[in-house]
Amino acid sequence: MKTVILALSLLLPLPAIAQTDDAQAPTLEDSLNQLRDGAGALLELFMQEMEPAVQDIEPLLDRLSEMVANLPGYYPPEVLPNGDILLRRKPVAEAPEDQEDPAPPSPPEPEAPLEL
């Protein structure tokens, strides 16, 4: 009997604690502002941690952009029947930009499929 009274005396105030006044309840706008502030702080922390990695990769990205700038100087890749891939370079004299690029030489027709 004592345990029942003790349990009830401990559980009885719980619903009163869970109730809040309407004046104290956060509004949707307040909650969204808190969420925005938290996300901004998290993004700022992420940027601070990633800054050294971005600085390390910057020279590699510069080099990659130089390589990509050279792509118009090549014909599209050709795959030969034996699996080799040819990357033909366009002649330097053929590079005027006001004319369309001529079609690359067509690859030879495959004879018959190889059976392995």
Vertex 19: Cα angle to 39 and 14 (nearest 5): 110
CB contact set of 31 (below 8 Å; sequence gap of 6+): none
Per DSSP, the three-state class of 110 is: coil
For residue 68, give both structure tokens.
């990509």
The length of the chain is 116
pTM (predicted TM-score): 0.33
One-letter identity of residue 70? N
Q: What is the residue extent of each domain of the chain? A: 28-92
Per-residue confidence in pLDDT tens, the chain, 116 aa: 767 676 767 776 666 665 655 567 778 888 889 999 999 999 999 989 888 888 889 889 989 998 888 888 889 999 999 999 999 998 876 545 655 656 666 666 666 665 66
